[in-house]
Amino acid sequence: MPRTLREMALTADLVARATRLVEDAGPSPGAVYMTDEDYDVAIGNVLAQAPVGDVWLFGYGSLLWKPACEFTESRIATVRGWHRAFCFRVARFRGTRDRPGLMLALDRGGRCKGMVFKLPPAQISASLNVLFRREMVVKPAVNVPRWMTVETDEGLIRALGMAVNRQSPHYAGKLQLDEAADILASAAGHWGSCAEYLRETVFRLEELGIHDESLWQLQALVAERLQSSLRCQTSK
């Protein structure tokens, strides 16, 4: 039987009604962007440290609902010593320079339940190229790849996860839920809104039977702010 999902306060309709179109302002002044050579070096460094055998990716956010590449197998998995958090700011993609957004990354401490995806052997370098270009844009990268030990029902696996670089100027640190909700309810870029990103992540986690209490509270807070904003607009 299909799973009965709990009803989210942050509905697709609410996110759609609060959506606004944002043009891409282009590269941020002063930002140093990754080059083709940088991506080649990053892929080479990661593969030089790869475990023997299959290559797995650990997904905790958008990879769960918007895969970066093809995969041949997936499993529910848990990584310890890391947790998912909206902990870095973006001035492009899902934010703007005057209203930066927040994105998810793995930050130190706690535990995180997500999924691991096995890459097709013949497409490993190509897959990592697509993933890195999506996750790492500027230098120094705010999201960096590292090998992690994850737990699955079939045993332990070494998988590649994207962890936040706390030395990056874009690292936001540990934000209170109310502060994060204020940002997520208002920030948007040419890729879409932060509210949409949050909703898609929470919805997919619930579909998988993974309940993240912090994100569940956050989606309710963002829904409250969007509803309040829409009421103000209609009362004018």
Domain that holds residue 44: 12-230
6 found inside a domain = no
**In this model, does residue 98 exceed pLDDT 70?**
yes
Domain CATH code at residue 109: 3.10.490.10
**In this model, does residue 139 exceed pLDDT 50?**
yes
Cα 107 to Cα 104: distance, rounded to the nearest angstrom: 9
- Token digits for 223? 């829904």
85 found inside a domain = yes
96 found inside a domain = yes
Residues contacting 32, CB < 8 A, separation 6+: 138, 139
| Structural domain count, the chain | 1
Report the percentage of the chain scoring pLDDT > 70.
98
**In this model, does residue 236 exceed pLDDT 70?**
no
**In this model, does residue 149 exceed pLDDT 90?**
yes
67 found inside a domain = yes
176 found inside a domain = yes
Per-residue pLDDT tens over the stretch 125-138: 999 999 999 999 99
* Length of the chain as a residue count: 236
**In this model, does residue 226 exceed pLDDT 50?**
yes
Which residues belong to the active site?
A: 135
Cα 210 to Cα 28: distance, rounded to the nearest angstrom: 36
Provide the pLDDT confidence category of residue 1 given band limits of 50, 70 and 90.
very low
CA 69, 75, 79, 83 torsion-angle sign: positive
111 found inside a domain = yes
Report the percentage of the chain scoring pLDDT > 90.
86
62 found inside a domain = yes
Per-residue pLDDT tens over the stretch 72-95: 999 999 999 999 999 999 999 999
4 found inside a domain = no
